[in-house]
């Protein structure tokens, strides 16, 4: 497949970025951070993806974000300044070179739930949150067929508080770069729900200042093709906490990847980092690759990671059946049980219920 | 009710049960005793329909039907229940949800509507109280972080609410302290009636002091080598299994 990048000689792109572009994962499959994403291949599937409609009519206080809600357009120069060691992301550079950008201030709206439907925007999006008041942001990233990556930048100011649920469903191609900048005492819960996709990659680059908390939960079920999650969580100042849990159920001959790094800077003492990636493989054709990494330069931290790949426990299925429960139902209950930890993290009860229903439909 | 005739079972080519015959009629309680590796647990798994066991020969008839034709869940819904020696832990599935799903599966099988929420709550509460299972425990994940005794009580709770015609207790007494043993036995005795039958598998006579069997069978090397009444259990307790192995060979 040809690359998404058509690099012009625009002065807006720094030399450093140019260097990154030379390492293009669309051309070179050996680049470590993109090794399993198979971007150099045009991943297709025989299945025709049904259009996924997100119906949020059950959510009472909802604001749909539109282009006219943007406070600023074309922040290319701004985006180039956000440069804290994350040149590892080809997507970031690529999206900046290909798309214009807009800025939305999340505190501007009174509604408790904000809805960002990415199909309404062609731009990269910068989202800012200043207020302590808790809000939930729904990011709908469904039905895409777009090989040019896009960037979503989240800036959480001091003491701010945000919950995000990202629905990534029925995409034949979708490549996203999330950049999360958390200033002192900010809190973020981020849940990504991924299903029925053919070729996706979601990157989560996060930077934490002092006394922050980040919960990043991933649910990945019944995809086709190659589905890839990459996270890079940087603890840059003391006393922050990050908790990351990714759960995948893989079948249909699909490949699911999780690669996650926790980086703890030498000044980031009292960091509490946790990372867990677990995959359940339902058939003999499917694959799961998990690669947890820790890079720690401080000496007073708590960091742990774990990773499992397994099949469904047939003894558990037998136990259900021995109590009269049909196999099909037993399998659904056990798959749901494997995943629910991720949905339990959702704070808003209406969105939680909606997500549970969505999971039931996708089981 | 249950008629096992000349049963031969092997696992991966290794013969475990070698010509076992046993008939259990309605309302009877049979105890099956025998040393480790004699085929007790294999028999219980074969009856419940677990995969991985090869039936080389013989028949098992249950309520006039060929039991071996039925899948595990069909056997359960037809009234067969196995209380496991080592109940599975099911993380992420709340105990009460599991119980409700099991009850509704049986009701669906019988052509009945789903159980009413209030009715279900009452049913569970009354049986759980008898077994000393708290409502807090019913909210926990099934068997996860349960003690050995709690797991066995949970099995008896499932049995009590599913009301099987034929219950097999596979070493339900192992790992129980005296109090738990009494509570579990009371749970069994409560279900005992002219309509229900039991096959109680155990190493020790102790359990049989609480659950008085009508018949006692000794299994050794995959066959029943001796049958009798309760006095056989007492004899066994006194003399041990060694004498019996001689009979078997």
The reply to whether A2 touches chain B by the CB within 8 Å rule is no
A337 and B106 within 8 Å at the Cβ level: the answer is: no
Q: Of A72-86, A132-146, A227-241, B127-141, where does mean pLDDT reach its minimum?
A: A72-86
**pLDDT band (50, 70, 90) for residue A331:** very high
Is there a contact between B221 and B40 (Cβ–Cβ < 8 Å)?
no
Q: Is the model more confident about B128 or about A23? A: B128
Contacts of B87 in chain A (CB under 8 A): 319
A319 and B82 within 8 Å at the Cβ level: the answer is: no
**pLDDT higher than 90, residue B73:** yes
Q: How far is A340 from chain B (nearest CA, A)?
A: 7
Please report the domains of chain B, with CATH numbers, ordered by start residue: 2-93+165-248 (3.40.50.300)
The predicted model gives B84-103 an average pLDDT of 95
Q: Is the model more confident about A236 or about A79? A: A236
**pLDDT higher than 90, residue A18:** no
The reply to whether A58 touches chain B by the CB within 8 Å rule is no
The pLDDT score that the predictor gives to residue A1 is 36
The reply to whether B172 touches chain A by the CB within 8 Å rule is no
**pLDDT higher than 90, residue A98:** no
Give the phi and the psi of residue B84 in degrees, each rounded to 5: -75, 150
**pLDDT higher than 90, residue B184:** no
Q: How far is B154 from chain A (nearest CA, A)?
A: 13
The reply to whether B85 touches chain A by the CB within 8 Å rule is no
User: What is the radius of gyration, based on Cα positions, of chain A?
Assistant: 20
A324 and B76 within 8 Å at the Cβ level: the answer is: yes
Q: Is residue A323 included in any domain, yes or no?
A: no
Residue of A nearest to B44 (CA): A322
**pLDDT higher than 50, residue A161:** yes
**pLDDT higher than 90, residue A97:** no
Handedness of CA B195, B201, B205, B207 (dihedral sign): negative
Q: Is residue A328 included in any domain, yes or no?
A: no
B105 and A325 within 8 Å at the Cβ level: the answer is: yes
B102 and A327 within 8 Å at the Cβ level: the answer is: no
The pLDDT score that the predictor gives to residue A60 is 87
The reply to whether A341 touches chain B by the CB within 8 Å rule is yes
Nearest-CB residue to B73 (from A314, A324, A341): A324
Q: How far is A201 from chain B (nearest CA, A)?
A: 28
Q: Is residue A136 included in any domain, yes or no?
A: yes
Q: Is residue A288 included in any domain, yes or no?
A: yes
A318 and B90 within 8 Å at the Cβ level: the answer is: no
The reply to whether A318 touches chain B by the CB within 8 Å rule is yes
The pLDDT score that the predictor gives to residue B96 is 95
Least Cα distance to A258 among A297, A309, A197 occurs for A309
Residues A311 and A353: their CA atoms lie apart, in Å, by 28
**pLDDT higher than 60, residue A68:** yes
Q: How far is A362 from chain B (nearest CA, A)?
A: 18
The predicted model gives A50-70 an average pLDDT of 91
Contacts of B82 in chain A (CB under 8 A): 322
Please give the model's pTM, rounded to 2 decimal places. Answer: 0.89
Nearest-CB residue to A318 (from B50, B102, B158): B50
* Axis-axis angle for helices B117-130, B178-191 (nearest 10): 130
Handedness of CA A222, A194, A85, A233 (dihedral sign): negative
The pLDDT score that the predictor gives to residue A23 is 73
B90 and A321 within 8 Å at the Cβ level: the answer is: no
Task: Count Cβ neighbours within 10 Å for each residue of A222-234 and write b for 16 or more, e otherwise.
Answer: bbbbbbbbbbbbb
The pLDDT score that the predictor gives to residue A7 is 43
Q: How far is A1 from chain B (nearest CA, A)?
A: 42
Mean pLDDT of chain A: 90
- Class of residue B52 by CB neighbours under 10 A (exposed 0-12, middle 13-18, buried 19+): exposed
The pLDDT score that the predictor gives to residue B233 is 87
**pLDDT band (50, 70, 90) for residue B174:** confident
The predicted model gives A268-282 an average pLDDT of 97
Q: Of A7-16, A28-37, A231-240, B64-73, where does mean pLDDT reach its minimum?
A: A7-16
Q: Is residue A9 included in any domain, yes or no?
A: no
Q: Is residue A351 included in any domain, yes or no?
A: no
- Class of residue B58 by CB neighbours under 10 A (exposed 0-12, middle 13-18, buried 19+): middle
The reply to whether B88 touches chain A by the CB within 8 Å rule is yes
Task: Count Cβ neighbours within 10 Å for each residue of A39-78 and write b for 16 or more, e otherwise.
Answer: bbeebebeeebeebeeeeeebeebbebeeebbeeeebeee
Handedness of CA A107, A109, A115, A120 (dihedral sign): negative
**pLDDT higher than 90, residue B204:** no
**pLDDT band (50, 70, 90) for residue B234:** confident
Is there a contact between B72 and B81 (Cβ–Cβ < 8 Å)?
no
The predicted model gives A172-201 an average pLDDT of 96
**pLDDT band (50, 70, 90) for residue A73:** confident
Q: What percent of chain B has pLDDT over 70?
A: 97
Q: How far is B183 from chain A (nearest CA, A)?
A: 22
The reply to whether B50 touches chain A by the CB within 8 Å rule is yes
Contacts of A318 in chain B (CB under 8 A): 50-51, 72, 88
The domain in which residue A241 lies consists of 43-313
Residues A105 and B32: their CA atoms lie apart, in Å, by 73
User: What distances in angstroms separate CA B64 from CA A99, B1, B47, one per listed residue?
Assistant: 73, 7, 15
**pLDDT higher than 80, residue A74:** no
The pLDDT score that the predictor gives to residue A25 is 86
Residues A231 and A243: their CA atoms lie apart, in Å, by 12
The reply to whether B114 touches chain A by the CB within 8 Å rule is no
The reply to whether A310 touches chain B by the CB within 8 Å rule is no
Contacts of A315 in chain B (CB under 8 A): 88
The pLDDT score that the predictor gives to residue A77 is 53
**pLDDT band (50, 70, 90) for residue A13:** low
Contacts of A319 in chain B (CB under 8 A): 84, 87-88, 90
Copy the structure tokens of residue A235: 């603890």
Q: Of A72-86, A147-161, A244-258, A321-335, where does mean pLDDT reach its minimum?
A: A72-86
The predicted model gives A75-92 an average pLDDT of 60
Copy the structure tokens of residue B180: 């738990």
Contacts of B76 in chain A (CB under 8 A): 321-324
The reply to whether A294 touches chain B by the CB within 8 Å rule is no
User: What distances in angstroms separate CA A248 from CA A167, A229, A271, A308, A313, one per listed residue?
Assistant: 15, 11, 27, 10, 15
Q: Is residue A32 included in any domain, yes or no?
A: no
Q: How far is B101 from chain A (nearest CA, A)?
A: 7
The pLDDT score that the predictor gives to residue B3 is 97
Total structural domains within chain A: 1
Residues B64 and B62: their CA atoms lie apart, in Å, by 5
**pLDDT band (50, 70, 90) for residue A4:** very low
Nearest-CB residue to B101 (from A314, A319, A333): A333
The pLDDT score that the predictor gives to residue A78 is 57
**Which three-class secondary structure string do you get for A233-278?**
EEECCCCCEEEEEEEEEECCCCEEEEEEEEEECCCCCCCEEEEEEE
The pLDDT score that the predictor gives to residue A2 is 35
The pLDDT score that the predictor gives to residue B238 is 82
The predicted model gives A150-163 an average pLDDT of 95
Q: How many CB atoms lie within 10 A of CB B8?
A: 17
The predicted model gives B32-40 an average pLDDT of 92
**pLDDT higher than 90, residue A94:** no
Residue of A nearest to B83 (CA): A322
Residues A130 and A142: their CA atoms lie apart, in Å, by 28
Q: How far is A341 from chain B (nearest CA, A)?
A: 8
Nearest-CB residue to A337 (from B48, B77, B91): B91
Q: Is residue A151 included in any domain, yes or no?
A: yes
A316 and B98 within 8 Å at the Cβ level: the answer is: no
**pLDDT higher than 90, residue A75:** no
**pLDDT band (50, 70, 90) for residue A8:** very low
Copy the structure tokens of residue A231: 């996270």
**pLDDT band (50, 70, 90) for residue A253:** very high
Q: How far is B73 from chain A (nearest CA, A)?
A: 4
The pLDDT score that the predictor gives to residue A21 is 58
Q: Of B80-84, B106-110, B173-177, where does mean pLDDT reach its minimum?
A: B173-177
A318 and B87 within 8 Å at the Cβ level: the answer is: no
Q: How many CB atoms lie within 10 A of CB A1?
A: 12
User: What is the radius of gyration, based on Cα positions, of chain B?
Assistant: 18
| Assembly ipTM | 0.95
Q: Is the model more confident about B175 or about B93? A: B93
Is there a contact between A215 and A243 (Cβ–Cβ < 8 Å)?
yes
């Amino acid at each position: 497949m040809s690359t998404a990048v058509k690099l012009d000689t625009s002065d807006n792109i720094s030399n450093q970025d140019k260097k990154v572009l030379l390492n293009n994962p669309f051309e070179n499959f050996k680049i470590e951070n993109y090794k399993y994403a198979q971007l150099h291949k045009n991943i297709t599937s025989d299945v025709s993806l049904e259009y996924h409609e997100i119906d949020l009519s059950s959510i009472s206080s909802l604001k749909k974000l539109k282009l006219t809600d943007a406070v600023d357009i074309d922040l290319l120069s701004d985006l180039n300044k956000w440069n804290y060691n994350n040149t590892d992301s080809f997507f970031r550079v690529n999206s900046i070179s290909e798309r214009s950008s807009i800025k939305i201030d999340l505190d501007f709206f009174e509604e408790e739930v904000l809805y960002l439907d990415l199909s309404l925007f062609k731009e990269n999006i910068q989202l800012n949150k200043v207020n302590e008041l808790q809000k939930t942001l729904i990011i709908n990233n469904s039905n895409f067929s777009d090989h040019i990556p896009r960037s979503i930048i989240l800036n959480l100011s001091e003491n701010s508080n945000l919950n995000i649920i990202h629905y990534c469903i029925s995409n034949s191609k979708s490549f996203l770069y999330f950049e999360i900048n958390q200033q002192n005492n900010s809190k973020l819960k981020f849940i990504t729900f991924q299903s029925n996709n053919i070729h996706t990659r979601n990157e989560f680059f996060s930077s934490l200042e002092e006394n922050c908390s980040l919960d990043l939960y991933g649910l990945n079920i019944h995809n086709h093709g190659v589905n890839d999650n990459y996270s890079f969580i940087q603890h840059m100042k003391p006393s922050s906490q990050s908790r990351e849990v990714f759960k995948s159920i893989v079948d249909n001959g699909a490949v699911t990847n999780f690669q996650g790094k926790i980086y703890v800077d030498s000044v980031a003492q009292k960091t509490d980092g946790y990372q867990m990636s677990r995959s359940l493989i339902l058939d003999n054709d499917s694959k799961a690759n998990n690669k947890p990494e820790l890079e720690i330069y401080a000496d007073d931290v708590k960091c742990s990671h774990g990773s499992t790949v397994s099949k469904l426990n047939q003894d558990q299925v037998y136990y259900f059946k021995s109590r009269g429960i049909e196999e099909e139902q037993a399998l659904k209950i056990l798959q749901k049980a494997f995943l629910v930890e991720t949905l339990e993290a959702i704070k808003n009860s209406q969105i939680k219920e909606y997500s549970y229903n969505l999971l039931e439909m996708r089981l | 009710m249950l008629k096992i005739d000349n049963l031969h079972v092997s696992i991966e080519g290794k013969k475990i049960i070698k010509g076992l015959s046993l008939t259990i009629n309605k309302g009877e309680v049979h105890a099956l005793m025998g040393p480790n590796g004699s085929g007790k647990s294999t028999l219980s798994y074969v009856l419940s329909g677990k995969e991985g066991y090869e039936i080389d020969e013989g028949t098992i008839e249950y309520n006039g039907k060929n039991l071996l034709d039925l899948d595990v869940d069909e056997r359960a819904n037809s009234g067969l229940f196995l209380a496991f020696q080592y109940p599975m832990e099911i993380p992420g599935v709340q105990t009460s949800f599991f119980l409700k799903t099991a009850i509704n599966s049986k009701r669906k099988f019988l052509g009945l509507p789903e159980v009413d929420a209030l009715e279900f709550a009452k049913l569970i509460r009354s049986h759980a109280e008898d077994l000393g299972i708290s409502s807090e425990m019913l909210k926990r994940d099934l068997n996860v972080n349960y003690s050995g005794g709690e797991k066995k009580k949970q099995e008896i709770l499932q049995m009590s609410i599913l009301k099987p015609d034929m219950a097999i207790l596979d070493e339900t007494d192992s790992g129980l302290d005296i109090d738990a043993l009494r509570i579990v036995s009371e749970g069994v005795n409560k279900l005992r009636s002219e309509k229900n039958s039991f096959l109680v598998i155990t190493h020790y006579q102790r359990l049989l002091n609480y659950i008085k069997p009508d018949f006692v069978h000794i299994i050794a090397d995959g066959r029943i080598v001796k049958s009798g009444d309760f006095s056989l259990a007492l004899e066994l307790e006194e003399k041990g299994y060694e004498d019996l192995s001689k009979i078997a060979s």
